[in-house]
Structure 1
Amino acid sequence: MKHVHSFADDCLGDLDAVGLAASIASGAISAAEAARAALARIDAVEPRLSAVAVDDRERALARAEADDFTGVFAGVPSLIKNNTDFAGIPTLHGSAAVANVPARADEAVTRELVGTGLNILGASTMPAFGLTATTEFADRPPTRNPWDTDYSCGASSGGAAALVAAGAVPIAHANDGGGSIRIPAAACGLVGLKPTRGRVAQAKQMHGLPIDLVSNGVVTRSVRDTAHYYADLERQREVASLPPIGLVEGPGRARLRVALINTPLTGRLLDDDTDRELAATVELLESLGHRVESVPMPVDRSYIAQFTDYWALLAFGIDRMGGRSVGKGFDRSRLDPFTKGLSAAFLKHFYRLPASVMGLKRATARFRSAFEGYDVILSPTLAHAVPEIGYLAPDGDFDEIFARLVDYVAFTPANNSSGTPAITLPLGRSANGLPLGMHFSADLGGERTLLELAFELEAARPFARIQD
């Protein structure tokens, strides 16, 4: 395996974000020392990972020297995903079609992110417009998985996941429109929680659309970092329509009713590695006193075409109205083949869109009905183990790549259309040593249940470390 990591005997050590923030708060190290150490770690792995889209180190070091951060992660170095406006950094969306023009202002999501005290060192890579599940490109080197650089790091928050897994930073911003927090977290052995719709400020790119698919969050190496992040967001902005999460600091007492889904909506069988690790997770849950029962997928196979139609709408909007959606200077001629192919797929079936939107809304009720008898749903995060670079290449034959993508990402989209929360945990390993994520979903507002369960599972089966 071609392991790449930057864990070292420096001031960051193997601390998670909570631990690093405590060191900064105590005066054991300074925010400037933490920033310089993180930048040195990025420099050590970046030539092999290609995970940084925009470097903003000079401004980050100046902020660290000023040391006026507030929030639970005051002074902790991090990165923002490059589809979210951070004043002074170009929001490039992973595409050569977007003009290299610095954002004029932070968007609402960014204000919440930096409100936790994170010091943004730059922007992480993502595939073009976040439309696929691997951080690969038609015109530049791919972002690689630090566990084995021959393999995909997932997407669309692939650069964020690669850098956190490699130890460059302990926490990084991510967002999720069909699995884009959970997929790269699963591929890179991290914790990735997609929150309930409305828990976090709305993403700029979702304004005005009939269904808001995108939720913002973080990828982390520890459950407590994820728990502290969402608790600090509640300090900043109370969401009256949802039950508060509060600060979750350990397992819950309740024994849960767990619905097991082990067959993808596509009807294909899981690969051997995923099937084995899912069974091991069931055994672990039952050993802890939880009750697990197999159930069918709550939505039917028509959901695949409905979600695809809506997903393709997003590509069509970029293709035909990119200047409005991503700003002036958009050059349609430089769009990648996958975005063009997905846009063409929408145009071919555009007449189905109204029925597909209605179908997705009906599917929400069916998906949520599963929680009438169960507290959480368990499935694999992905339908098969992490593929090698090239398997989902955006410049490959569109129909073949798209069919592979649908097979791979069979479990995560239902949470985006329904707005329900879900978390992936690095509880499994493939035969070749790569991480395999296990996926837990809850009903709207159920993040506390997911975090309590995550704490319990992390303690019972500590997550593998890339540096071991």
Structure 2
Amino acid sequence: MEAALAAAARHADLGAIVHLDAARGRAAARDPAPGAFAGVPTLVKDLGGPFAGFPMRAGSRLLADDPGTADSDLAVRFRAAGLCVFGTTTAPEFGLSLASEPAVGPICRNPLAPDLTAGGSSGGSAAAVAAGIVAIAHATDAGGSIRVPAACCGLVGLKPGRGSIPAGPGYGNYLGGIASELAVCRSVRDTAAIFAACRGDTRGPFPPVAYAPEGPLRIGLLTETADAPRLAVVEEAARALEPHGHRIVPIDSAALLAAARESARLFAAIVAVNLATLPLDFAQAEPMTRAARDLGAAMTGAGVWRITTDMALVSRDLWRVFEGVDLIVTPMLATAPPPVGSFPTQGTDIQAHFARMTAFAPLAALANISGFPALTLPFGTDKGLPLPVQLIAPMGGEERLLAAAALLEREDRWQHPFAIAGLAA
């Protein structure tokens, strides 16, 4: 914990941490629960949770800076795993960006290249883990917000399938079920361990069905929607699975891309509707947040009902793709992480804002809208930056994702430039 606190101070210019409580962190480290992560320092995202003792402001001046008094079900499991929380990480206002640069600050930067974005909306968590401040940090994903920052920073990010991670204690179907919570990590091993510690008994309407690894997998790959280096690494990752008995088979890429485009549209509408339901005075919100809220407020009941119907159709269409494959490998990002400031929220053109984000991560929202699990990990480098790939599995297929990701990780195509605080380089 002392090493993590020192690293947090040393990397303060990254803007990864928005609230730090050294006393609470030290107290947790003196008496951690005897779980898989006993005594491991961690940070939690300023969006999601809540975690008792830490304010959750969602990157906004609209929410009070008061520490919460109760843990979410997920927070209880984090602590039972032995994780010791000492602060919260930077997120954009209400998670409305694929960069973590809220107007209230700080501006989060990528440890691998500080002039570039660390991604969003879990950018602060990803930057903290990539810089070695902590080895694991809480993150949430409603439209790529675990996977995009992990991809930008060379980390492993699992977006669990709908219903596999608790969303309580008050299960309100937040964001129509598209949001998941877990973590960003430096290894598949740690990702599997935190998923095992947190999964199951979610007390919600989506009981998980586990699909454990079984026999050779049929691998479908999508080599579209990205620049040349990111497309090449998708095929390389799929080929790397072949020596383990898995085989590449053709995929209906047109159907997959159509589902992805529809998912991006639905994600924008769901976020807007959710903002319109929040009992807050948006006068002091960022301009883009106000624009999104206005978009949602203008939507009719029939329009909202249509969204829920269309979400079901996206899930159906993705299931049809999986009739011929067991795992899909895709690009995670279309390009390298762009410079800080590439996703500004000072304007009010909400449609253009969503279009910019979709262009950067065109296949991110598909897993959220469908409810399917997806994972990103680095599988190479380009000019010193990670080349990430995304793996998508059928509902309940997290173990399948983790098993395939572990095989790819063994290829050792990416090395973290920063050691974890407190551990040898």
Q: TM-score, normalised by structure 1?
A: 0.81
| Equivalent of residue 116 in structure 2, options 141, 147, 151 | 151
CA contact (8 A) 1:186 1:425 kept: yes
The 1-side partners of 2:332 and 2:263 are apart by 20
Q: Return 5+ residue gaps in structure 1 as ranges.
A: 1-34, 247-251, 265-269, 324-329
Aligned to 2:356: 404
Match of 1:291 among 241, 247, 261: 247
Query: Superposition pairs for residues 21-420 of structure 1, below 5 Å?
Result: 35-46=1-12, 48-65=13-30, 67-83=31-47, 84-202=49-167, 207-208=172-173, 211-233=176-198, 241-243=207-209, 254-264=215-225, 270-295=226-251, 296-299=253-256, 301=258, 304=261, 307-318=264-275, 320-323=276-279, 330-347=280-297, 350=300, 352-396=303-347, 398=349, 399-420=351-372
Deviations 1:108-147 (Å, cap 9, x if unpaired)? 1211221211000111111111122111223434200000
**Matched residue SS, 1:372:** coil
SS in 2 for 1:429: strand
Q: Distance in 1 between matches of 2:158 and 2:58?
A: 22
Structure-2 change in CA distance of 1:362 and 1:238 (3 Å):
closer
CA distance in 2, matches of 1:279, 1:244: 27
User: Do the aligned partners of 1:306 and 1:356 also contact (CA within 8 Å) in 2?
Assistant: no
In 1: Cα distance, 2:385 partner to 2:133 partner: 19
Question: Which aligned runs of 4 or more in structure 1 are off by greater than 6 angstroms?
Answer: 235-240
State the shift of 1:422 in Å. 1.0
SS in 2 for 1:169: coil
Q: What's the offset of the Cα at 1:467?
A: 3.6
Q: Quick one: structure 1 residues 87 and 389, their matched pair in 2 at CA, closer, same or farther if it must change by over 3 Å? A: same
Q: In the superposition, relative to structure 1, how do residues 374 and 162 fare at CA in structure 2: closer, same or farther (>3 Å)?
A: same
Q: Is the 8 A contact 2:91 2:102 kept in 1?
A: no
Contact persistence 1:131–1:315 (CA under 8 A): no
Give per-residue Cα distances to partners, 1:248-283, cap 9 Å, x unaligned. xxxx6833211112234xxxxx22221232233233
Query: In 1, Cα distance between the equivalents of 2:273 and 2:211?
Result: 37
> 1:201 Cα shift?
0.4
- Tell me: CA distance 1:231–1:400, structure 2 relative to 1, closer, same or farther (3 Å): closer
With over 3 angstroms needed to count, the CA separation of the structure-2 counterparts of 1:463 and 1:210, relative to structure 1, is: closer
Partners of 1:344 and 1:448 in 2: how far apart? 40
Distance, in Å, in 1 between the alignment partners of 2:170 and 2:234 is 35
Q: Percent identity among equivalent residues? A: 34
> How much does 1:299 deviate?
4.5
Q: Distance in 1 between matches of 2:7 and 2:135?
A: 11
CA spacing shift, 1:280–1:210, aligned 2, 3 Å: closer
Shift of 1:381: 1.0
3-state SS of paired residue (1:185): helix
In structure 2, what is the equivalent of residue 425 of structure 1? 377
SS in 1 for 2:410: helix
TM-aligned CA distance change 1:208 to 1:287, over 3 Å: closer
1:32 corresponds in structure 2 to none
Q: Which SS does the other structure have where 1:168 is aligned?
A: coil
CA contact (8 A) 1:310 1:353 kept: no
Tell me how far apart the structure 1 counterparts of residues 38 and 133 of structure 2 sit (CA, whole Å). 17
Structure 1 residue 362: deviation in Å? 1.1
Q: Report the 3-state secondary structure (helix = DSSP H, G, I; strand = E; otherwise coil) of the residue aligned with 2:372.
A: coil
Letter in 1 for 2:335: H
Aligned-pair CA distance for 1:385: 1.9
CA distance 1:303–1:260, change in 2 (3 Å): closer
Contact map agreement 2:109 2:115 (CA 8 A) in 1 = yes
- The alignment yields a C-alpha RMSD, in angstroms, of 2.6
Contact 1:138 1:337 in 2 (8 A): no
Opposite residue 464 of structure 1, the aligned amino acid is Q
Structure 2 spans left out of the alignment, 5+ residues: 420-425
Change (3 A) 1:206 1:81: farther
- Alpha carbons of 1:244 and 1:375: their partners in 2 closer, same or farther (altered >3 Å)? closer
Letter in 2 for 1:44: R
Q: CA deviation at 1:294?
A: 4.1
- State the shift of 1:223 in Å: 0.9
Alignment TM-score, normalising by the size of structure 2: 0.89
Distance in 1 between the 2:199 and 2:227 partners? 39
